[in-house]
Amino acid sequence: MRRAIWLMAAALPLGAQPKLLTNAKVDTRSASGGLEQTFRAALSAQPQPAWIGYAVPSTRTYNMGCDYVNRSDFNRAGVVHLEPPDQVVVLFRVEAGTVDRIRAISPDCEIDAGGVPMHWLSDVQPAQSVALLATFVEQHVNNYNSAMSAIAMHADPAADRLLDRYVAPDQLQSLRLRAVSSLANSRGRHGFEVVKNLIANDKDMKVRERAVQTLANSKEPEAVDLLISIARTDKDARLRSQAVGELARKPGPAILNTLSGALADPDEQVQRRAVSALQQLPDGQGIPLLIQVVKTTKNDQLRKQAMNSLKNSQDPRALSFFEDVLK
């Protein structure tokens, strides 16, 4: 039978530990004297491998989640959280005295520590957490569960300042691209303004394309209007194409009008991206326009793409159209 240690939040200082931790050997250490020195002491503690973790206030984002867990009892009731958590749990995996993995997850997750030691740090200051994570950014930049992702979830101005630094033109392109994604996904109004400025002014086309790509993740009301404006009027066909593709995630009348206009774009890649976007729209919203493309376009490749999209849709209107063609 699996050994389990249940740690309930009600019995502990608010935000000090996860609500539920299983299969762990836990010791708690206060970081009131400074996170850096407390973390380094836990980093060198034996035995290893081990985990070091703590919780800090987070941005209210839905990007935090839990792994899918195979349970023996599939009828067990789960918890559905309609609002995102206001804290993030930051976890570091330690082996041979070094950090080889960083995770940032919801405090509502059930955490299975795999039977290894867990050093839980209380009294962590958010700005000190951002500074600590910054020391791991470059070595974890290509890891999905990276230090930068954890930084972006901190509800502290220090996270904005650090991400702004990473997105600067003098940084490595790989670092800049990750920073752009983090800003748009998790940093609210500040992130939107930074991304907007990058799209308008940055000299690196890959950075601008990434900024457009992640713009669809922004919850700011102006994000969709900016995507529409780029799709319709940007001078660079690559940015128009990227914006058209992202509009498929934001269905509505204004989106349909924009995609219709993109079908007549002077660049064929933009046209093809518009056909793909029409296929992805929910509830078959793009079917009438796809049928119109097949009927009117003089571009054989575009017509073929539209016909394949209609065939794959299995929409009754598409089937009726094909029946009329065959007659």
254 and 120 inside one domain: no
Query: What one-character DSSP code corresponds to residue 16?
Result: S
**21 and 7 Cβ atoms separated by less than 8 Å:** yes
pLDDT in tens, the chain (327 residues): 333 333 333 333 444 567 678 888 889 999 999 999 999 999 999 999 999 999 999 987 766 666 554 444 555 555 666 777 889 999 999 999 999 899 998 888 888 888 899 999 999 999 999 999 999 998 755 555 589 999 999 999 999 999 999 999 999 999 999 999 999 989 999 999 999 999 999 999 999 999 999 998 888 989 999 999 999 999 999 999 999 999 988 777 789 999 999 999 999 999 999 999 999 998 899 999 999 999 999 999 999 999 999 998 888 998 898 888 777
- Position of tokens 């299975």? 112
The torsion angles phi and psi of 155, rounded to 5 degrees, stand at -90, 65
Distance of alpha carbon 208 from alpha carbon 198, whole angstroms: 6
Q: Which residue has the tokens 């996860």?
A: 18
Rounded CA gap, 317 and 308, in Å?
14
- Burial, 134: exposed, middle or buried (Cβ in 10 Å; 0-12, 13-18, 19+)? middle
Please count the structural domains in the chain. Answer: 2
C-alpha to C-alpha distance for 244 and 265, rounded to whole angstroms: 11
Segments forming the whole domain that contains residue 43: 1-64+84-155
Round to the nearest angstrom and report the end-to-end CA distance of the chain: 68
pTM tops 0.75: yes
Instruction: Say yes or no: 24 and 138 in one domain.
Output: yes
> Measured between alpha carbons, how far is 120 from 132 in angstroms, rounded to an integer?
15
Is 10 in the same domain as 140? yes
Single residue among 123, 140, 155 that ends a domain in this structure: 155
